[in-house]
């Protein structure tokens, strides 16, 4: 059987990608140019083992993509990401995103977990990469299902941490970084899970955020 020709796919976004931001809410954006450069996992069509076209089949009570030739099953599991809450003088540290998705939106220091690190190590690394601060992780704050990242489903693991040393400055992936009092927190928080974390964090202090 002749193997189907695989379509050319680009998995990583280019730093040079220019995106025209919508004036609408971040979570109402529909078609933007960077969608052409990020292939959501739900669009997989071919088996990574034998190149046969995948078909929908019920496996373990869920509809999954299955290879009819070699039996490969694609499990569309969420990717783990980690974030950290850092306070200084009763202000919380946020990072402004430089690249899609949601460029110029604000988040906690955060990022995807690498295969060779623990969630705590991920939180420490991401804080260093995005803010140039050396931190320590104290305890788990919460775990959140994040469904508004157009690249993939995400499980967000959030820690509380403390700053040890370093001078605050934005890293390669951040346009800006800064500490914000509750009344100063930007409205354009990039992801709903981060907004939920901020609300819950300040609710414990009897503070209601207007975000």
Determine which helix (DSSP H) or strand (DSSP E) holds 120, and give its type and residue range: helix 119-131
Q: What is the mean pLDDT of the chain?
A: 86
Question: How are beta strands 55-59 and 62-66 bridged, if at all?
Answer: antiparallel
Residue 5 has pLDDT above 80, yes or no: no
- What is the sign of the dihedral through the CA atoms of 88, 107, 142 and 118? negative
Residue 106: the pLDDT is: 99
Residue 30: the pLDDT is: 38
Reported confidence tier of residue 24, pLDDT bands at 50, 70, 90 = very low
Phi, psi (rounded to 5 degrees) for 207: -120, 130
Determine which helix (DSSP H) or strand (DSSP E) holds 124, and give its type and residue range: helix 119-131
Higher per-residue pLDDT: 89 or 18: 89
Residue 137: the pLDDT is: 98
User: What structural domains does the chain harbor?
Assistant: 32-74 (no CATH), 79-203 (3.90.79.10)
Higher per-residue pLDDT: 18 or 119: 119
Place of tokens 């089949």: 57
Q: What is the pLDDT of residues 137-168, one digit of tens each?
A: 999 999 999 989 998 999 999 999 999 999 99
Can you point out the beta strands (E) in the chain?
Answer: 55-59, 62-66, 73-74, 79-85, 87-88, 91-97, 106-107, 110-112, 134-146, 154-165, 174-180
Q: What is the pLDDT of residues 93-115, one digit of tens each?
A: 999 999 999 999 999 999 999 99
Tell me the pTM: 0.79
């Amino acid at each position: 059987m002749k193997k189907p020709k695989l379509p050319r796919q680009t998995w990583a976004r280019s730093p040079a990608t220019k995106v025209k931001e919508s004036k609408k809410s971040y979570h109402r954006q529909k078609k933007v140019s960077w969608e052409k450069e990020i292939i959501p996992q739900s669009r997989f069509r071919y088996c990574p083992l034998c190149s046969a076209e995948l078909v929908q089949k019920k496996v373990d009570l869920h509809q999954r993509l299955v290879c009819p030739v070699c039996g490969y099953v694609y499990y569309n599991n969420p990717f783990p990401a980690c974030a950290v809450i850092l306070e200084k003088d009763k202000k919380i540290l946020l990072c402004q995103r430089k690249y899609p998705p949601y460029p110029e939106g604000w988040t906690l220091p955060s990022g995807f977990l690498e295969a060779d690190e623990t969630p705590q190590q991920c939180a420490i690394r991401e804080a260093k990469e995005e803010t140039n601060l050396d931190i320590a992780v104290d305890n788990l704050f919460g775990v959140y299902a994040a469904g508004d990242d157009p690249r993939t489903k995400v499980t967000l693991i959030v820690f509380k941490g403390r700053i040890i040393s370093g001078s605050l400055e934005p890293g390669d992936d951040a346009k800006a970084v800064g500490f914000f009092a509750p009344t100063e927190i930007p409205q354009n928080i990039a992801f709903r899970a981060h907004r939920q974390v901020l609300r819950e964090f300040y609710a414990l202090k009897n503070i209601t955020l207007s975000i």
